[in-house]
Amino acid sequence: MIVLYDPDTLLHDTVELVGAKIRSALESPARTRTIVEKLSESGEHGLRTIQSPLTSDDPSELKALLSIIERTHGREYLDHLKNAFDQWRAEQLIEQHENILPECFVYPTKAHSDPRPPKDLFARAGYFAFDMSSGIMFQTYRSVIASANLASESVSYLLDFKHSHGAPSVFALCRPPGHHCDGNRAGGYCYVNNVAVCISKYRSLSVSGEFARIGILDLDFHHGNGTQELYYSDPQVFYASIHGEDEFPYYTGADSETGAGDAVGANLNLPLATGSDFGEYMKKLNQALIALRDFRPEFLVVSLGFDTFHLDPLGSFQISTEHYALIAAGVRRVLADLPTVILLEGGYALEHLGENVKSFLEGWEARMRE
C-alpha cells in the first residue's frame, strides 16, 4: 500500500495540561518519526514523501488546498491558526519557544447561542478551541497544512489508481490528527479535520461529485466528535465509530446520536466499555462494517487511531499488536471493493506504534492478495 508522509508534519511540538502540570503533549513528532522508521526498515510499504504546498514555488497549490479546507473551516478560524502565534509575539504575551493554550471557553447561555469572536487575544484562543489539548506554537500552522495536504493528496493518488485492478487504498501519515475538530474549534490535538478534507477533495474530483455516497469508519479510541458534527445532517455521508464509553470528548458518542433531518440513520455510534477485549471489539467492528456496507458507499475514509492498544496511555481497550492485522483484514473482507483512504489519528504508545501500524498494513494487504 502507498503510504504518504511529509517531514513538515514533524514541526508541530506543543504542550498539554496533566493535572496541574504542563508537559510535552503525548501527540508528538516522535510518533510519526517512529512509524516512518519502522516502515522504511521493512521496505515492503511504498513510503512516499510529499512536499507541503507551503514550501512549494507554485502558489496555486496552496490556493487549491485552502479552497478545499475552507469548505469545512471558517476563514476567521483558519486565520487564527495561522496568525495567533505572531499576534501573541507582537504583544509580547509569549516567547518564541512557548505555546498558546486557551483559558476561557464559550459555554451555553440563555442570552445568546452564537457569540462573535472576541478581540482579546487570550479570549480568542478559547473561542477557537473546546479544550486545552490544542496548543499553538510557532510551527503549528505549517504542520496543520502539511497534514491536511497529505489527506488531500491521498485522494488524488486513490483516483489515479482507480484504473488499476482491485479497489485501491492509500494510507496518509497525518499529524496533527483531525477527527476531534469541527469547522471553528480545535481540540483533542486536532486543528483541521483531515477526514473532511478527503471528502471535499473527493467530491471535487470524482464523477459523482456532490452526489457521492461516502462512508467513514472511525477506529480511534476516542469518539470523533468533530467529524460527527460536520456530517450529522448530511444524508450522503455515513459515520460509524467504535470508541471508549464515557471517555474523552465526553459530550458526544452515545448510541442515541443517530443523525439529524434527512440524515437520521446515517450516524452510528458504538461505544464500548473501557477495558473491553478484542472479542468484544470485533463484535462492534462487524456491526459497523455491515452498516457501512448496507449504506452502499463508493468511497471510504478510515480514521485510524492506535490508542486502542492495551498499553496506550490514553486508551483502555485490550488490543495487542497482532490484533491490528485481524482488524484490518476484517475491514477489507466486508468492504473489499471500496476505494479507501486511511488517515492516522491517535496512538501514543511510542515504543509500539511502528509495529502496530505495520501489523495493520500487513493485515490489510494480506486480505488484498487472497
Site residues, ligand Q9C (CB under 6 A)? 16-18, 133, 177, 180, 188-190, 220, 222, 248, 305, 307, 314, 345-346
Residues 219-238: x/- map of binding to Zn ion (CB under 5 A)? Answer: -xxx----------------
Q: Based on CB atoms, which residue is closest to ligand Q9C, 159 or 307?
A: 307
Among candidates 312, 303, 296, 319, which has minimal Cα distance to 353? 312
Q: Based on CB atoms, which residue is closest to Zn ion, 135 or 305?
A: 305
Q: Based on CB atoms, which residue is closest to ligand Q9C, 12 or 222?
A: 222
With CB under 5 to 8 Å by kind, the binding choice for 248 among ligand Q9C, Zn ion, none is: ligand Q9C
Contact predicate 224/303, CB 8 Å: yes
Cα(155)–Cα(170) distance, integer angstroms: 8
Q: What is the DSSP letter of 272?
A: E
Q: How far is the CB of 227 from ligand Q9C (least distance, A)?
A: 11
Cα(50)–Cα(369) distance, integer angstroms: 27
Decide if 223 is catalytic: no
Q: Which of these ranges, 10-18, 51-59, 101-109, 217-225, lies near Zn ion under the rule CB under 5 A?
A: 217-225
Q: How far is the CB of 249 from ligand Q9C (least distance, A)?
A: 7
Cβ atoms within 10 Å, residue 316? 17
Q: Based on CB atoms, which residue is closest to ligand Q9C, 143 or 206?
A: 143
- Residue 182 binds Zn ion (CB under 5 A): no
Q: How far is the CB of 123 from ligand Q9C (least distance, A)?
A: 22
**What's the number of CA atoms in the CB half-sphere (13 Å) around residue 60?**
0
Contacts by residues 254-261 (CB-CB < 8 Å, ≥ 24 positions apart): 257/228, 257/232, 259/232, 259/233, 259/235, 260/232, 260/233, 261/233, 261/235
> What does the block give as the cell for 204?
471535487
Q: Which residue is nearest to Zn ion (CB)?
A: 346
Binder of Zn ion out of 135, 330, 346, 363 (CB under 5 A): 346
Catalytic residue among 45, 73, 179, 180: 180
Cα(124)–Cα(105) distance, integer angstroms: 9
Active-site residue list: 180
